[in-house]
Amino acid sequence: MANSIDDLKSTIQNHGGLAMQNRFNIIFTPPKLSLINLDASTLLAGLISGGGLSIKNFINDPRDISMMCKSTSMPGRQISTAEHAAHKEQHKYITGYIDEDVTCEFHVTQDFFIRNMFDNWMAQVLDSETYTVSYKVDHVADVVIQQLDKQNNPIYAVKLKNAFPTSYTGMTLSNEAADTPQTFSVTFSYDKFETLNPVAGFGSGIKSVADRIINIL
């Protein structure tokens, strides 16, 4: 007997309702050097506005990076296999896991702080002039991605361990897009992802952000 629409509704209600794509939070803790802001135009704007200069003018807040994230995804995972011939038959055996790279799309503000931050981060990974790769500990950071419920409480979370940006997209400029906000996307590689207790994941992410700021200061 086919399930009815009422059966479907009942099942969804029994499990707390449907998770919504627009309910998410992402917590970045970039390497501390990538958070340093030495952009002259940004600092000058602070002076012109009458706000003066303070330590905040020279450090990008990791929470601002999270706020500017327009979209992202929970990582996918695949069990990798290889074939082995035995008794004239092909058999597959397990070779390990393959975790998908994660891409985040970001809004761009007029001071371009987030684009500059990722430029700095990628320069820490690989020097564009000497092609020297930095020590891993100096260019990786954990990224926490949370699914939220309708009350913005975390209900599922993953941590990307030792993540770093591998690419970002270009940005479209067009005379026909007068009211279209600027965005660009960043792709991250990482060692592995692990599922977190949602609340613990939130606490872990906040602690990492706080540690980064304290280390800079």
pLDDT, tens digit, for every residue of 114-128?
999 999 999 999 998
Residue of higher predicted confidence among 95 and 3? 95
Instruction: For residue range 75-103, list pLDDT tens digits in order.
Output: 999 999 998 888 778 888 899 999 999 99
**Count of alpha carbons within 13 angstroms of residue 101, beta-carbon side:** 12
Identify the CA nearest to 202 among candidates 144, 163, 152: 144
Residue 156 predicted with pLDDT over 90: yes
- 127 assigned to some structural domain: yes
- Whether 196 is covered by a domain: the verdict is yes
Query: Which runs of E-coded beta strand occur in 8-116?
Result: 24-28, 69-71, 77-86, 89-99, 102-107
Task: Look at residue 195 and tell me if it is in a domain.
Answer: yes
1 belongs to a structural domain: no
Q: Which CATH number characterizes residue 176's domain?
A: 2.30.110
The tokens for 194 are: 């692990």
Is the per-residue pLDDT at 54 higher than 60? no
Question: Residue 120 falls within a domain, yes or no?
Answer: yes
Question: Collapsing DSSP states into helix, strand and coil, what is residue 144?
Answer: strand
Whether 30 has a pLDDT exceeding 60, the answer reads: yes
Q: Count up the domains in the chain and report the number.
A: 1
In a domain, 138, yes or no: yes
Is residue 15 in some structural domain?
no
DSSP H or E segment with residue 141:
strand 141-148
What is the residue range of 105's domain? 21-67+77-216
SS3 81: strand
Q: pTM (2 decimals)?
A: 0.79
* Cα–Cα distance list, 94 to 14, 87, 97, 176 (Å): 36, 19, 9, 51
pLDDT score of 28: 86
Q: End-to-end distance of the chain based on CA atoms, in angstroms?
A: 66
Percentage helix, strand, coil for the chain under 3-state DSSP, each rounded to 5: 30, 35, 35
Of the candidates 204, 58, 75, the residue with the CA atom closest to the CA atom of residue 141: 204
Q: Is 2 inside a domain boundary?
A: no
**Within 10 Å of residue 176's Cβ, how many Cβ atoms?**
5
